[in-house]
Structure 1
Amino acid sequence: MSNVVVSTVEGPIAWVKLNRPERLNAMNGTLVAGLSEALEGAEADENIRVVILHGEGRAFCSGDDLKDLDAQTACEADTQAWVEAIQNITIQIMQSRKIVIAAVHGWCVGGALEWAINCDFRLFSENTRWFFPEVTYGLFVTGGVTALLTKQVGPQVTKELLILGERHDAKKALETGIAWKVVPDDSLLDEARQLALTIAKRPSVAVADVKRAINEGLHSSLEDAMAQETAATVRGFLTPEAQARAKEF
């Protein structure tokens, strides 16, 4: 496995770390593929009960690596494949029989924020800063958030977050319910560990069944939302104006 994603096992916990700190763990093809492989490995290991997703260095993940924009938009087929790879992470997290905890610190932006929202529990450190930049660029969101956020926080707040694209702190994440809990910066990983161990004490089949029932019941239109997102995101990536705005940013 590439060292851009490091997966280690601690008893019933799989620690999955995004490890491109020199780029604030920004998403490129290698990172997305490595994360998919790590999640697949955790899913196949019957001894693992909980996955903790976190980032190395100063950020959880700063979103799409805009230095790779030319490669991502070389042709429509490449763009389609790139967006589908990002969306596949959402499917892996939300359809997993493992509980996935996002331990978020520093910047959590765009696609990475959408992955965090896909997780079952979201712990934010006090220094977390987050926003959805996509619409500002003329792009579109992924991760099923057009369905997930609308049902979680309502259409008005969802439009505020996605259309205005303003930057927010951990307190705002807690107020909107995007964060389950906000903790001191230096206790983030310990808090995630303790939560994981608590969950691991519950019967595995019951926990997995509850997760599946809640996700399927509350987010029954997830696949339809993601299909619309994929088409819109591909269109956005291929728009010269959006490419120019992203490169300028």
Structure 2
Amino acid sequence: MTDFKYETVLSEIVEDGVRCITLNRPDRLNAMNRGLIDDVARAFEDANADQKTRAIIFTGAGKAFCAGDDRREHVHPTCEEEARDLVLAIQRSTYAIVLNHKPVVGAINGWAVGGGFEWAINCDFPIWGESARGFFPEVSLNLFVTGGVSSLLPVLVGLNTAREMLFLGERYDATQLQAMGVAWKTVSDPELMGTARSTARRLADLPPLSVRAMKRVLNATALTDLRRAMDLETEATIAGFMDPETTRRLKDF
């Protein structure tokens, strides 16, 4: 049953100990508006506080995981205060996914673009369907990545490949992403949710104390600069929002 209610996200226990958090704007390819950004943070915070939840699946309804910023509903910040409020809201979701203690299995279907690609990378066990695709358009839009990606991505793929992904905005399929180390596993589209559920089931059956400790310690040792990276990302993204060139590029995207 669904025991947490949100406008743009579904959150339900799908079997004992396993919760599925689903982006639920399929008509917009689960593109990010402010409501979705806030709901993702709340859904993960609530799931982490829920004693019945021991593992979390993160996926998107319909044809895409998350197609990035919703161009139709984009509200460009008009001042630094508005920009900071928006960017901190985006970063809040990453804190709830990465720096909380429940393991997160990603079931990445269809497009994962920009902030959606960040959420996919935030997952502990990202499983990509074979038709899924991902890329970062931010630099071409005079913006910057968030989600701790400036720290996470070099750890996963190495600095040279991270530069390629972030500067050049190349588009990658699931097979490429697995070879690079971004995807943990790649499976056929029909197998995606079954594989995610069986993985989450294995995690939920492990002792919670050791699972929490393992996630905490791995992140603390492998991502030593994550919080600093997110602070720097925040300032760089705010500066991008305040540059008039960004508005022009967003309109043309």
* TM-score normalised to structure 1 length: 0.97
Q: CA deviation at 1:131?
A: 0.2
1:18 to 17, 23, 27: 23
One-letter code of the match for 1:34? D
What are the within-5 Å matches in structure 2 for residues 59-208 of structure 1? 59-69=64-74, 71-208=75-212
Spell out, residue by residue over 1:21-67, the C-alpha distance to the aligned partner (whole angstroms, 9 max, x if none): 11110111111111112112111111211111100111000112123
SS in 2 for 1:124: strand
User: Structure 1 stretches of 5 or more lacking a match?
Assistant: none
Q: CA deviation at 1:155?
A: 1.1
Alignment correspondent of 1:42: 47
One-letter code of the match for 1:84? L
Spell out, residue by residue over 1:71-92, the C-alpha distance to the aligned partner (whole angstroms, 9 max, x if none): 2312221111111111111111
One-letter code of the match for 2:117? L
Q: CA deviation at 1:180?
A: 0.2
Q: Does 1:32 align with 2:37?
A: yes
Q: Does the 8 Å CA contact 2:7/2:35 hold for their aligned counterparts?
A: no
State how many pairs are aligned.
248
Q: Does the 8 Å CA contact 1:72/1:82 hold for their aligned counterparts?
A: no
Write the distance in 1 (CA, Å) between the matches of 2:199 and 2:185.
11
SS in 2 for 1:86: helix
Q: Does the 8 Å CA contact 1:2/1:30 hold for their aligned counterparts?
A: no
Identity of aligned residues (%): 44
Write the distance in 2 (CA, Å) between the matches of 1:171 and 1:88.
30
One-letter code of the match for 1:66? R
User: Structure 2 stretches of 5 or more lacking a match?
Assistant: none
Alignment correspondent of 1:236: 240
Write the distance in 1 (CA, Å) between the matches of 2:193 and 2:155.
29
Deviation >2 Å, runs of 4+: 66-69
